[in-house]
Amino acid sequence: MLKLPVFLILIAMISCNHKIYSPLSYEGEMLEWGTGGGFTGAVKSYCVLDNGIYFKTEDSGKSYLEVGKMKKSAVRQFFDNYDKLGLSSLKLNEPGNRYYFISRKNTKSEHKLIWGQKELENKVPSILHKNLMKAIQEDNQ
C-alpha cells in the first residue's frame, strides 16, 4: 500500500521536471535585438533561441525574463533571413544617440549590427528588426 503513494509522488516529480533555458548559458543559436540610448541611455532588448523561446532584458543582458515562445517555422525564417539577406557578412557599427541593434550569437561567436547615427542605405537590418518586434508583439496579444 505504501508503494503506491511513493510511486505517484515519483511520477509527479518526473513529469514536473521542466528544462530551464537562459540566453546566458544556452549553447545553441540565438538572435538578440533591441534599442538603446536616448535621454536615459537605457537598453531594452529581446532574445530568441533557436528552439523558439524568447526573452526580454532591460539590464544590458545581465538577466533575462522568459516571455513567450514563437513558432519554430517563424524562428527558422528569422535565422535564415539573417544569412540569406547578407546580414552575416555586413559590417555596421554606427550607433547614434538613439540606436538599434541585431546580433546573431552562439557559444563560439557573435555578429552584431548597430545603427542609428544616420539613415541606413541598406534597409535590411531595419526591416528585420521591425519584423522581429512585430513577431513578439503579435505573440503577446
pLDDT digits 0-9 by tens, 80-91: 999 999 999 999
Tell whether domain 3-139 is in CATH 3.30.1560.
yes
pLDDT digits 0-9 by tens, 111-134: 999 999 888 888 999 999 999 999
For 115, residues 6+ apart whose C-beta sits below 8 A from its C-beta are 92, 94, 95, 96, 99, 100, 101, 125, 126
For 94, residues 6+ apart whose C-beta sits below 8 A from its C-beta are 114, 115, 116, 117, 118
pLDDT digits 0-9 by tens, 62-74: 788 899 999 999 9
Q: Nearest CA to 126 among 29, 35, 23?
A: 35
